[in-house]
Amino acid sequence: MKKAIGILLLGFLLAGCTTTEPRNIKPDNIKILDGDTIIINDEKIRFSGIDTPELKQTCTKNNEKIFCGILAKNNLIKKIGNKTPKCINEGKDFFKRTLAECFVNNESLSRFLVRSGYAFAYRKYSKKFIKDEEYAKENKLGLWSMTFQFPWDYRNKKN
C-alpha cells in the first residue's frame, strides 16, 4: 500500500507545477530568487509553509552583521545544485505565485531549510514544519545560532 501511495504521489509531482504530466526541465531554466522562492520555466513558485529572511535582512553573530537572507538563498542554491526540483502544487498565494512543496532527490527543500535553521515554520499558514524548526532551534543551527528578527516581523517594520 505504501508503495502504491508513493507511486501515486510521484504522479502528482509536477516539474513546473502547471501540468499533470512530467516535463523535462533543464537546470538553466531554474532561477532562485531568495530562500523560499524559485522560478521554473517562467513560473514563480513560493515554498508553502515556510518563510526565510528577506535578501536585505541582516542578523548578528559575534557582533558581526550577516545578510541572513542571502545566507538562506545560498543554502538553497547549494542544496539544489544542478538538480531539477519537482514540486507539488498547493494553489496560489495573494501575489498569484504558485504555492508548492518542492523536492530534490525526494527530499523536501522546505524541510531541509527549516531543519538546518535557514527558514522558519510559517505557522500563520501551516503547522507542517514546526518539529523541524524545534530541532534547529534546540541545536542552534543556522539562524538559531544568531540574533535575528523573524522575516514577518522584519517585513511589518519595513512597511
Q: Mind listing the pLDDT tens digit for each residue in 121-159?
A: 999 999 999 999 999 999 999 999 999 999 999 999 866
Q: For the stretch 54-77, what's the b/e string if a residue is b when 16 or more beta carbons lie within 10 angstroms of its beta carbon?
A: beebbbeeeeeebbbbbbbbebbe
Q: What pLDDT does residue 29 have?
A: 85
CB atoms within 10 A of CB 132: 22
Q: Can you list the domains of the chain with their CATH numbers? A: 11-158 (2.40.50.90)
| Tens of pLDDT, residues 66-109 | 999 999 999 999 999 999 999 999 999 988 999 999 999 999 99
pLDDT at 9 over 60: no
Whether the full predicted model's pTM is greater than 0.85, yes or no, is no
CA dist list (Å): 52 to 23, 78, 152 = 28, 16, 9
Q: How far apart are CA 101 and CA 48, in angstroms?
A: 6
> For residue 28, what are the contacts with CB-CB under 8 A and spacing of at least 6?
none
**Element of type H or E holding 98:** strand 98-104
Q: What pLDDT does residue 49 have?
A: 96
Tell me the torsion sign for CA atoms 151, 153, 154, 159: positive
